[in-house]
Amino acid sequence: MILLWDRLPAHKSRQTRSYLQAATQQGWLRLEWLPAYAPELNPVEYLWGYLDGGVLAHYAPPTLGEIRQRVKAGARRVRRCPDVLRGFLKASSLFF
């Protein structure tokens, strides 16, 4: 398994580092580091852009719960479109 690591400070806890070190030593996990700030290389950024331009465009709900529902609905819609998901991977230029 390959883990694309984005160097977010929240991911650098002692517990996380320990787990990753053990997993990589066992040979089933390989870490690949993304540059410090490179959203164009992170496929999930394309998903967020897709949602921002679609189900979240011009949407200002009064509660966090309503945003959560809208994001989940958008994610479900995207899951049913494998070509769109492949497009996110292709746009990141990491896989094709």
Span 10-26, pLDDT tens digits: 777 888 888 888 998 89
3-state secondary structure of 22: helix
Co-location of 53 and 83 in the same domain: yes
Give which of 78, 81, 79 is closest to 53, Cα–Cα: 78
Domain that holds residue 11: 2-33
Co-location of 43 and 16 in the same domain: no
Whole-angstrom distance, CA of residue 94 vs CA of residue 76: 24
Confidence at 96, pLDDT banded by 50, 70, 90: low
Co-location of 85 and 47 in the same domain: yes
Q: Taking the complete model, does pTM exceed 0.85, yes or no?
A: no
Co-location of 22 and 44 in the same domain: no
Co-location of 45 and 88 in the same domain: yes
25 and 51 Cβ atoms separated by less than 8 Å: no
pLDDT of the residue at 32: 86
**Domain count across the chain:** 2
50 and 78 Cβ atoms separated by less than 8 Å: yes
